[in-house]
Amino acid sequence: MMTQRSFDERDIHLALDGELPAEDMAAYEAWLMARPDMRALSARYASDRALLRETLSGLTGEEPPQRLSDVGLGAGRRKSPARRRSMVAAAAALLLAVGASAGYWAGRTGFNGAETLATLEVVGQAVAAHQVYASEKLHVVEVGASDRNHLVGWLSNRVGTQLVAPDLRPEGFDLMGGRLLPSGDKTAAQFMYEDPEGERVSLYVAHCLQDEKTGFRLFEEEGSRAFYWHENGFSYTVAGAIPQAQLLELANATYRQLIAGR
């Protein structure tokens, strides 16, 4: 007997991953047949997954680049080889599992191998940096929010683009400050925010390999998640362990202010 529950985009991912309960499959397939838009979305996700599996087929067994492993990590806090491999595998899974587009663009750009590996590395750096510094007690930031103008000017000059420290107070997050970080042979900027309950989110800005423009994409790994996008040669990542809808709201607010600040 078919179940009568409703379905949504999340169920497409469950079905593609083989995780949709067997008792729901008949109803899911009937729902998919009745929704041309969802059929097209399912076909697009399946195509993306096949392309990325082929592109990344040899990646998950390799050691990640040393500069990715070392971002923000002292010798005493370096992850084990198995843990670092799992982070690269999870980063690969983000592109296989979720094709979320939100915010202010329509459509998506395709990936070639070089773009995919570069994306994985930059997003991995952003999430690793967030995990390290969001858990700090005394040294969360290098320059505090009380010196906001200096912070923004300094990071803009070092990264090579006009930055903005978005005002996320309407969304419940106060700026704590920021820091300069390595990103390959270039530099990256991180701005850290905190809400009254102590939850922290960060904005990470770094150079990306291609001068591409993308919609928002979602990364999730062991309780941490991030929305990221590329524009005009830079990669922007808003990371945090808060609910997905709340993080997307922050990413949208961040994007609006970055565009307005240029």
- Cα 195 off chain centre by: 20
Q: How far apart are the first and last CA of the chain?
A: 57
Q: How far apart are CA 111 and CA 106, in angstroms?
A: 16
Q: What is the pLDDT of residue 231?
A: 85
pLDDT tens digits, the chain, 262 residues: what are they?
444 678 888 888 888 888 888 899 999 888 888 887 778 777 766 766 665 665 555 555 555 555 445 544 444 444 455 554 555 455 444 444 433 333 332 233 334 444 455 666 788 889 889 999 999 988 999 999 999 999 999 999 999 999 999 999 999 999 999 999 988 789 999 999 999 999 999 999 999 866 666 778 888 776 678 999 888 889 999 999 999 899 999 999 999 998 887 5
Domain boundaries of the chain, sorted by first residue = 9-55, 66-260
The pLDDT score that the predictor gives to residue 237 is: 95
Residue 50 to residues 44, 117, 140, 198, Cα–Cα distance (Å) = 10, 16, 40, 40
- Report yes or no: 106 and 217 within 8 Å, Cβ to Cβ: no
- pTM of the shown model: 0.59
Those residues whose C-beta lies under 8 Å from the C-beta of residue 153, and which sit 6 or more positions away, are: none
Residue 173 near residue 195 (C-beta atoms within 8 A):
yes
User: Taking the mean position of all CA atoms in its chain, how far away is CA 255?
Assistant: 14
pLDDT of residue 66: 54
Concatenating the DSSP letter of every residue in 50-97 gives: HHHHHHTTTTTTSPPPHHHHTTT--GGGPPPHHHHHHHHHHHHHHHHH
Please state the CATH superfamily assignment of the domain spanning residues 66-260 in this structure: MucB/RseB, C-terminal domain (3.30.200.100)
CB 164, CB 151: distance < 8 Å: no
